[in-house]
Amino acid sequence: MATKAVLIVDDEADIRELLVVTLQRMGVDADSAATVAEAKAALGRRAYDLALTDMRLPDGEGLDVLRHIAEHHGNTPVAVITAYGSTENAVAALKAGAFDYIAKPIKLEQLRPLVTSALNLPRPALARRAATGETAPEPAPRLIGESAPVQKARELIGRLARSQAPVYITGDSGTGKEVAARLIHLGSARAQAPFVAVNCGAIPENLMESEFFGYRRGAFTGAETDRAGYLHAAHKGTLFLDEVGDLPLPMQVKLLRVIQEKRFRRLGDTVEEAIDVRIISATHRSLAEQVQAGEFRQDLFYRLNVIEMRMPSLREIPEDIPLMVARVVDRLARQNGVGVPAITEEAMLALRRYDFPGNVRELENILERALALCSDDTVREQDLYLTQGTPREPPASVDGAMGTRGLPLHEFLDQVEREAIQRALEATRFNKTAAAKLLGVTFRSLRYRLDRLGIE
């Protein structure tokens, strides 16, 4: 295997010498340059697997080196060296496409993993395939669709996979924010390390610190053994913070320090641990509005929101619904060991008209229920029961039913509900617990409906 090569760009001779010696001891071939002009000349002579550049140079700045490499040597990752505490420069470099940054004075225990991660980046073609889920082990997340918004998201995922920058993913509930985060992880140099997903809104406030940081035995009443937290579990990998806006303010302060110092301490411990973790966060609410309302720290917001990507809502991409339906139906059929049912044109049209307030997650629930209730291996419009949401246009079946039956609204809704319950009971062989689960209601709620509608 050919020796990896790194270009070091810094105007301080002692730093260049330190970095060259360190890299050579890692088995890496290292060249150095003192100016932007020398860096461009070196890049013209040979190919490099990584460029490590200072931000301040005699004839320009590190961003000039970054832009030159992006234009002429796009496959070469670039890491920048910033002055201590100069977060503005670091964020600017990450937004411009830098792989990562390291602050002066350079700590070798931080430099070595940075270099290793950059040199282990998958080839761009492989990263693009990972961004679609093609190279991931089963069960692999996939970003389905060929619409412009989905292709834009897929292309951005591929680029973000070749960076260490924190990513902030926005979008309505059920749009696949965690899928996007997993694909970024799978296409990155961290793909073989853990991906740890945390729902910040599901953790009681009094357990936040112990869940994130872990604890030592005896740290508090009930701490009978040592326990690792989310940060330790995600070491060298990716920590995905879903609904990060639900973090209480005291925990926001602690998380900010971890991001800045790249160190943390378990509860009850006296020694800090170094942490190498990439943070991807997501929320369906606006963090910027939470900052304005004083509910979220502005400094943490800027740390998390280095690069923002938005996942499109299903109502924005109706042209992708047939592809998604085919994918979901095929998966559900395989899971249940049955043949793939047909979808009538009327059913597909109804799905394309539907507003999907719950997005992809709601689509999956609708199709799972329809597959259980449909007859003769065909999903028809009436099997979908699209009555809970807001259709884009009134479905023809509802208009027709109202016209032919001539029922007042409450009677019509009772009739729809009665038919849904009866078909659920038939599909589950009159197992009320299973029927309630299929309908998405509690057993008590189903029992109430059975009594109210007079269903035996």
Q: Is the pLDDT of residue 199 over 90?
A: yes
* Beta-strand relationship, 78-82 and 50-54: parallel
Query: CA-to-CA distance for 186 and 137, rounded, in angstroms?
Result: 10
Number of CB atoms found within 10 A of residue 70's CB: 14
Q: How many residues in the chain?
A: 456
Mean pLDDT of the chain: 85
Cα-based angle 274, 165, 144 (whole degrees, multiple of 5): 120
Q: What is the distance, to the nearest Å, from the Cα of residue 364 to the centroid of all Cα atoms in its chain?
A: 19
Write down the pLDDT at residue 180. Answer: 95
**In which band, very low, low, confident or very high, does the pLDDT at 338 lie, cut at 50, 70 and 90?**
confident
* Beta-strand relationship, 50-54 and 29-33: unpaired
Span 132-146, average pLDDT: 64
User: And the tokens for 379?
Assistant: 């999903």
Q: 3-class SS at 161? A: helix
**In which band, very low, low, confident or very high, does the pLDDT at 226 lie, cut at 50, 70 and 90?**
confident
Query: CA-to-CA distance for 113 and 82, rounded, in angstroms?
Result: 17
Query: CA-to-CA distance for 119 and 55, rounded, in angstroms?
Result: 21
Q: Is the pLDDT of residue 89 over 70?
A: yes
Mean pLDDT comparison of 121-130, 192-201, 362-371, highest-scoring range? 192-201
**In which band, very low, low, confident or very high, does the pLDDT at 212 lie, cut at 50, 70 and 90?**
very high
Span 11-36, average pLDDT: 95
Write down the pLDDT at residue 441. Answer: 72
**In which band, very low, low, confident or very high, does the pLDDT at 110 lie, cut at 50, 70 and 90?**
confident
**Residue at token pair 């992006």:** 70
CATH class of the structural domain 315-453: mainly alpha
Contacts of 324 (CB under 8 A, 6+ apart): 144, 145, 314, 360, 363
Which run of H or E residues covers position 351? helix 345-353
Number of CB atoms found within 10 A of residue 176's CB: 24
**Residue at token pair 């093609």:** 134
Contact (CB, 8 A) for 114 and 102: yes
Burial of 289 (0-12, 13-18, 19+ CB in 10 A): exposed
User: And the tokens for 8?
Assistant: 């070091």
Which range is least confidently modeled, 12-26, 262-276, 366-380, 418-432?
A: 418-432
Q: Do the domains 315-453 and 125-312 match in fold?
A: no
**What is the CATH number that goes with domain 125-312?**
3.40.50.300
Contact (CB, 8 A) for 244 and 304: yes
Cα-based angle 92, 94, 99 (whole degrees, multiple of 5): 150
Contact (CB, 8 A) for 64 and 85: no
For residue 158, the one-letter residue type is: G
Which run of H or E residues covers position 30? strand 29-33
Write down the pLDDT at residue 128. Answer: 53
Q: Where are the domains of the chain?
A: 5-120, 125-312, 315-453
pLDDT tens, position by position, 388-439: 444 444 334 444 444 444 455 566 667 777 777 887 787 777 788 877 777 7
Q: Is the pLDDT of residue 325 over 70?
A: yes
Write down the pLDDT at residue 134. Answer: 53
Selection from 244, 253, 262, 144 nearest residue 198 by Cα: 244
Selection from 336, 361, 350, 297 nearest residue 427 by Cα: 336
Query: CA-to-CA distance for 181 and 160, rounded, in angstroms?
Result: 10
Number of CB atoms found within 10 A of residue 142's CB: 16
Distances, alpha carbon 448 to alpha carbons 304, 369, 421, 441, in Å: 47, 21, 12, 11
Q: Is the pLDDT of residue 261 over 70?
A: yes
Number of CB atoms found within 10 A of residue 204's CB: 7
Selection from 397, 325, 401 nearest residue 356 by Cα: 325
**What is the CATH number that goes with domain 5-120?**
3.40.50.2300
**In which band, very low, low, confident or very high, does the pLDDT at 138 lie, cut at 50, 70 and 90?**
very low
Please, which residues bridge with residue 5 across strands?
29
Query: CA-to-CA distance for 367 and 127, rounded, in angstroms?
Result: 32
Contacts of 61 (CB under 8 A, 6+ apart): 36, 55
Write down the pLDDT at residue 345. Answer: 92
Contact (CB, 8 A) for 139 and 169: no
Span 122-128, average pLDDT: 57
**In which band, very low, low, confident or very high, does the pLDDT at 123 lie, cut at 50, 70 and 90?**
low
Q: Is the pLDDT of residue 32 over 80?
A: yes
Terminal CA-CA length for the chain: 73
Span 51-78, average pLDDT: 93
Span 92-101, average pLDDT: 88
Predicted TM-score (pTM) of this structure: 0.74
